[in-house]
Homo-oligomer: A and B are copies of this chain.
Amino acid sequence: LKSNTVQKESRKKRRSSGAITLAAVAEIAGVAPITASRAINNPSLVSLEVLRKVNEAVEQTGYVQNKIAGSLASAKSGLIAAVIPNFSSSIFLDTIDTLNQTLFEAGYQLLLGQTNYSKEREKSLLDQIIGQRPDGIFFTGVISNEVARQQLIASNIPVVETWDLSTDPIDMLVGFSHEKIGSSVATYLLKKGYRCLAIIGADDERSLRRFKSFREEVKAQNSNENLKPVTAINVRASRTVSKGREALMELLAINPQTDAVFCSSDLLALGVVTQAQHLGIRVPQELAVIGFGDIAFAKDTAPALSTVKINSSEIGRLAAHLLIERAHQRFLPNKIMDLGFEIVERETT
């Protein structure tokens, strides 16, 4: 049986990666390549007889589809890109986890890029990503850079922005209002009777927006009451427990009367609580602490941490569904979805 790969006149040019191709499988099965393709990708289109022969040939050769070639031919890559700031902020990972699960079940692979909160990095990452022609792009946050926005719109790739609300998303949006969170937390703490409020947080854009409305709410309620101005400690990019401990020391040096702190992350809040315990400050009697994110073990710390809970898994699930729908060209009426938030009262407030 002369079923060896025929070496042509052997003067023309050749390359080939050496891997088994669909054409080889088709030849063994005794059908045309397109028929083998159908048998593999859409079995209902071929006869049982053909299906059997093709499957046999696949088994025999150990054939694995070259999706690169398929992507080029069909203009569908089967890839969805996700852009995240980093892997340390575990708060985003629940979202990515669920996003990935949901996408995988629908047959998509996840292409992951991290920006480290750098706008330049975000731009070069975006070029790389668009180059890969993904079937959709998921962003943690919204894109403000106008050049990037235009590029995304021009690329015609479905986009979901998340973790925020904005009036003019590039395409789709699944998020919540940081402004509402800031004012709600302020109102909550004031209602609980705290009078000298402070904030400890990172200087990323979303934290800053929460803090801004927090301050404004305090100021607004100050007309009829006698409130101290809000003290702010900026921890830059460090959202860690140890930074929270340091930040409390800094805060108490500036304003020892502080009786409530709103932190931009649960880890920072945990640090504040730990440090307060070290200093013999009773939580929440002398100092109330509220975090942000509701990480998995917030309820298991001692005392259990009060925080702002976001349904981060739901963001991932919804974003995945939106992208999949869009990839299938389906009509989507609601392009902006507000998932809200919840203040979870535990033992630190």
Query: Which positions in A face B, CB cutoff 8 Å?
Result: 15, 17-19, 62, 64-69, 71-72, 75, 77-79, 86-88, 90, 93-94, 96-97, 100-101, 104, 107, 109-114, 125, 127-133, 151, 154-156, 240-242, 245, 267, 270-271, 274, 277-278, 296-297, 299-302
B72, A69: Cβ atoms closer than 8 Å:
yes
A274 proximity list for chain B (CB < 8 A) = 300-302
A93 proximity list for chain B (CB < 8 A) = 87-88, 90, 93
**Known contacts being A241-B296, A245-B300, is A68 close to B133, with CB within 8 Å?**
yes
B267, A297: Cβ atoms closer than 8 Å:
yes
B128, A109: Cβ atoms closer than 8 Å:
yes
Offer 17 A-B interface pairs, CB within 8 angstroms, sorted by A: A18-B156, A19-B155, A19-B156, A64-B130, A64-B151, A66-B72, A68-B71, A68-B77, A78-B132, A79-B132, A86-B97, A87-B93, A97-B114, A104-B114, A109-B128, A240-B296, A242-B299
| Max count, chain B CB within 10 A of own CB: residue among A18, A67, A93, A245 | A67
A66 proximity list for chain B (CB < 8 A) = 72, 131, 133
Which single residue of chain B is at the shortest CB-CB distance from A147?
B62
Give the distance in Å from the alpha carbon of A67 to the alpha carbon of B134 in the complex: 11
- Per assembly, the copies of the chain total 2
**Known contacts being A130-B64, A296-B240, A300-B271, is A104 close to B113, with CB within 8 Å?**
yes
A88, B240: Cβ atoms closer than 8 Å:
no
Other A-B pairs beyond A65-B131, A66-B133, 11, CB < 8 Å: A15-B75, A87-B96, A88-B93, A88-B97, A100-B113, A101-B114, A110-B112, A240-B300, A242-B299, A270-B297, A274-B302
A113 proximity list for chain B (CB < 8 A) = 100, 104, 109-110
Give the distance in Å from the alpha carbon of A90 to the alpha carbon of B245 in the complex: 21
Which single residue of chain B is at the shortest CB-CB distance from A241?
B297
A155 proximity list for chain B (CB < 8 A) = 19, 64
Which single residue of chain B is at the shortest CB-CB distance from A100?
B114
A242, B300: Cβ atoms closer than 8 Å:
yes
A107 proximity list for chain B (CB < 8 A) = 128
